[in-house]
Every structure is written in C-alpha cells, then in structure tokens.
Structure 1
C-alpha cells in the first residue's frame, strides 16, 4: 500500500523558469539557475523511476507499505528521505534514489564521482547521506515521537537498512577493494531481489515479530504526520530582490506606451511539441528566445532539460 506519493515539484520549476526571464540577471546567476533546474529535473526523474518499480513490486502487497518523499526534522537537523519501504516485520528500507547521467565511479577510498561524455565531477557520498537520514529517523524513534507497535507490552524495535538506488541506464564502476556498504548500492531493477535477500536472515523470528496490517499502516501514518514540506525562497537562494511589475515593464520595453483601440483577442494556449503537455506562455517565450538551443519550438520544462543535455 502506498501511504504517501512524491510531492509535486512543478511550482518550483515554474518559479525557476520565471526567474530566468528577469532582465537583471548576471550570466553567472543565470547559469546557477539553469544548473538548479537541471538538477531538479534529474532528481524528479530518478525518484519517479524508483517509485514506479517500488510500486510495481510492493504497491499491492498486503504486507508492505511505501512512503515517498518524506522530509523529517529533529532539532536543527533535516532528513530528506526519497523512499521508505516497510513490512510487517518492521523492517524499514531507507532508499536514496540517484539519477546519474553516464557513469557512477567509486574509488578504493570510497569516494564518489560521476562521468558523462568523458568529463568527470566529484559528488557527495550517497552512503554518508543516507547514514544521516537513518540517524535522524532513529532519534525520532528513540524519543518516541513515533510510537512503535507493541506485543504484550513489549515494543518492537525496527530493523533499518540503507539502500542506494541508481537509475537503470547508468553504469556503476566499483573498486576491487571491499568497502562496507557498497553492496547496498544497486540499480532500481535489482530492488526486489535485494529486499528479498536482506529479509531472509530473520528466519523463524519473523513469525514472532510480525505486526498486524492495521498497526503497520498506523505506524506509517505516524511517520507521514511528521512530514515537513520544503519551501524554497528562490530569490534569497540566488541573491535576488523582488522586482515590481512597473520596473519590469520599463526594463523589458523600449517602446512608448500609447492607447489604441484594438479588438480583444482570444487567449492563446501553448503546448510542448515533444510531449504535447500544456505549458505556460513564459515557458514558450523562453524557448523562442533561445532559438539556438530549441530551434524556435516550444517545450515543457522537463523536455527542455533533455534537449539541453543533447545540445551540450
């Protein structure tokens, strides 16, 4: 059963695209915004791929619940958990999904980098990132902010596992040296088999520590109640000030305004030529203003990022 779906990031994408239209942007700030849009779109695609396969294998299973896109806070710390997969034995699989374009490379020191079109770039360790998420989840459990199911007055202690889910079209280059945790870095398509493998060690104890389906759902709903959606202040993020409509019109128009009597036109609707989704006038204008990239055609935000990657 799916307890929580992925939060929509569409509003953030629209705000970022609108920021790109500002006349006061420096080239450096423009590049930063474009980079944030690419990362956001890649993250959305990675989460959606993992969520789809998770739902396919476990979504209709009566002994499992799925929580997507859960943001937990404890004191001054935050855990942005991509997916939680929980069964009736109270085994919790904390899953961090990563959309990697090209190759994911792990060296003998456990350092991570990605390589695309021959160009490499370092990246934070998803293993350490997930460790921090699990640490915050454990603290919430220890403080009993999440009440665990009990049997005869004895509370079940959840068993927590870390999984890093990599997009299926990526390649993973692993070191020859054995490093703890690397075997839990898998592709999305390997999820079902990995969960099955990690669930086996319980053996006969799985019968003893099995909670009812209703208690499992209750436990999951407690977690969702602690969800704190993230609200971005994109202006502050890029060091921008608010711009009023009057100033914007002056900055973007060189023609004097004259009153003319013209017949009212019907509102124009725009759509993406690739996926046929409806798009805003801002998105269409952005594509037309960058004909060198989009060829004078209008695309939605996600299709824009695909074309940008091909253009680079």
Structure 2
C-alpha cells in the first residue's frame, strides 16, 4: 500500500561538522609538547578514523534517502540536555511513522563480538581489544534525544530506535547479541531500513496514517522539528592543551581564545539586563558570572565536556540548574562557595548582591 501525504523537498538538514581546525590545533600542539607527541598523534588518528566512518555512512544514507519524501536527515548532531550533551552521528526521522532512528557509527576494521556478560571486543589479527558497548552508547543517545524532545515540547515523535552502524570492512559475531540490538553494516543499512518499513502490514499502515493525522506530523512539523534540532546543535569544543598537560603559556594565549568563545555565545535570557561581574579562569577554560535583576547570579560556561563537569560539581547542592536558559543560578551568599570550588578564590570576595 502506498501512503503519500504531500510532497516534501530534499531534507538533508545538516552535514557533518568539519574537523580540519581541530586537527590543525592538535598538529600545532605536537610541536609544543614533545612528551605528548605520541598521545596527540593517536588522538589525531582517532578523529580521522571516526570522521572517515561517519563520512562513509553519510554517503550511503544520502545516496539512498537524500531525496526521500518521508525522511529528515541530520548528520553529526550535538545537542544539550539539562547540563550534559548528546552526540548523535546520524539521525533519521520518518514523518509518517513518527519514528526516529539514532545511528551510532563505529569504524572498526576487525571482528566485533559480545560475550554473555555484555562485554564487547574487537579482534584484530586474533588479538582482542576491549571496547565500550556501541549498543549502550546508541541507547544513551536515544534517551538523550527523548529528553530533549520532551523538554522542548516536541511531541510528534512516538518512538526513538537505536542502530549501530559498522564499517563494510568489519565483521560481526552475531552468536551472542544483546536483546533488541540492531547492528548493521553501513552499506547494507538502506536495505535493512526498507525491510523495517515493508514489515508494516496494511492494517498497521492505516493505523499509522491515522496516528500521523492525529499527531500532526505534517511536512511543516517535520521541517520545524528538524530546523529546531539543527538550531540547537553545539559544535564540540575541547581544550586539547589541558588534556595533554600543556601549560597555558605554551598555548600562546589559549585561555583568551576560550574567553572569546564565551563572549561570542548568545546571552541567556535572564542575563540580557544583567551585569557581567567576573570571568573565572580554570584549567579547562573560563566561566562567565553575571548578576541578574532579581539579585541572584547566573553562571555559564563554554560547551566543553570537562568544563561542564567542573561547573556541575561546583554548583551541585549550591545552585539551581535552569534548563530553559542553560545556566546555573546561585544566591549571593552561596556564590563564594561556588567560586572557591571553581577557581580556589577567597570566600571573602564581596561579590554578593544586596
């Protein structure tokens, strides 16, 4: 049965981010830290390998579904959920089924296997190398996407499904596989996905169409959802110098670059009429503190994973997280405690509001 509801233009809403600047920074740091040379080289290889796997998967997805009338396609999506981030390699949204597929890409060249305890291994030349569970990673991204949809009132998606895409050059030992896990080679994904669609019988298809009409997953809804997801994308930002133990002096003003990132960020709504009081320097970057009209203080940081953990640890139990504006709010009497954890500053600094 052929279900058609209008005609939608090509909906590849976002391609993968460019990693060239990231690699260039790592190449620069190699010359500043000879002791970290091998570790930085390994990081560069990992970035290039991951980008290559995602690029290969995106090629197959775009070729097969880039002109689909029913799908929205987003590559390399990083969105904030509460005080954390979700990194989704590829996201496909089917407007009639109101279903999203979250694809986790792994560019393994060896044989992937899982034992009865759920431990995953990649075998290279008969030698095992333990790896984090790709299925668990995909499932975490699904939960994060569901959380984001709920937070933003986007109720058009009824189901989010995890899929692990592996390289066409890899092999998968399927004798033991976690329940409900979908592990697919990227060059076979189009066939696999169409098989999922064709498994829908006539009765189910009619129910699906009825649900689609009731839930309002129209072309406009799909485009709005896709645009809002892409608009929420935050490119990854890593303090590579801090990771490899390179001093700030050796970074040639690296912290000033972090401060510029903070200054370039759009201000959270409560801060539009607030006053910037302090930029706290930390080993992982800088944090902006501003007084807001009600007398409390807003704490915001650049979207760096290490910095997020630092701020979260400092604010937990002392400040309130505000998901809508993506900042922490703290009263004047608790601010010195937060500052002490963040930067080791004196608790007697008179920054409290009256």
The verdict on a shared fold, with TM-score over 0.5 as the criterion, is yes
Tell me which residue corresponds to 1:162: 162
Q: Using a 3 Å threshold, how does the CA distance of structure 1 residues 56 and 187 change in structure 2: closer, same or farther? A: same
- Alignment pair present for 1:17 and 2:27: yes
Contact 1:65–1:85 at 8 Å: present in 2 too? yes
Q: Which residue matches 1:67?
A: 74
Q: Shift of the alpha carbon at 1:2?
A: 0.3
Counterpart Cα distance in 2 of 1:226 and 1:73: 8
Aligned to 2:262: none
**1:101 positional shift:** 2.0
Cross-structure match for 1:240: 246
Does the 8 Å contact 1:77/1:136 carry over to 2?
A: no
The answer to whether 1:191 aligns with 2:178 is no
2:237 paired residue number: 231
Q: Does 1:8 align with 2:10?
A: no
1:163 to partner: Cα distance: 0.5
**Aligned 1:44-193 pairs, distance under 5 A:** 44-89=51-96, 90-143=98-151, 145-148=152-155, 156-175=156-175, 177=176, 179-182=178-181, 184-193=182-191
Shift of 1:128: 0.8
Q: Quote the Cα distance in structure 2 between the aligned partners of 1:162 and 1:146.
A: 22
Q: Which residue of 2 aligns with 1:304?
A: none
| Residue of structure 2 in register with 1:39 after alignment | 46
Shift of 1:157: 4.1
* 8 A contact 2:114–2:177 mirrored in 1: no
Deviation string, structure 1 residues 57-76 (Cα, Å, up to 9, x no partner): 11111211100100011122
* Inter-partner Cα distance in structure 2 for 1:163 and 1:94: 6
Q: TM-score, normalised by structure 2?
A: 0.62
Q: Are the counterparts in 2 of residues 114 and 121 from structure 1 also a CA contact under 8 Å?
A: yes
Q: Is residue 209 from structure 1 mapped to residue 211 from structure 2 by the alignment?
A: yes
The higher-RCO structure (CA 8 Å, 6+ apart) is 1
Superposed displacement of residue 43, structure 1: 0.3
Report Cα offsets for 1:51-108 as digits up to 9, x if no partner. Answer: 0111011111121110010001112222100000111122100000110022212223
CA displacement 1:275-295 (0-9 Å, x = unmatched)? xxxxxxxxxxxxxxxxxxxxx
Q: 1:146 Cα deviation (Å)?
A: 4.7
Q: Which moved more, 1:52-61 or 1:204-213?
A: 204-213
1:25 is displaced (CA, Å) by: 2.2
Of residues 30, 38, 43, the one that matches 2:37 is 30
* Aligned partner of residue 21 in structure 1, secondary structure: helix
Q: Is the 8 A contact 1:146 1:219 kept in 2?
A: no
CA contact (8 A) 2:70 2:94 kept: yes
Question: Partner of 1:286 in structure 2?
Answer: none
The number of aligned residues is 232
1:16–1:234 Cα contact (<8 Å) kept: yes
Give the 3-state SS of the residue equivalent to 1:14 in structure 2. Answer: helix
After superposition, give the CA deviation of every residue in 1:163-188 in whole Å (9 maximum; x if it has no partner).
1000101111223x453033x01101
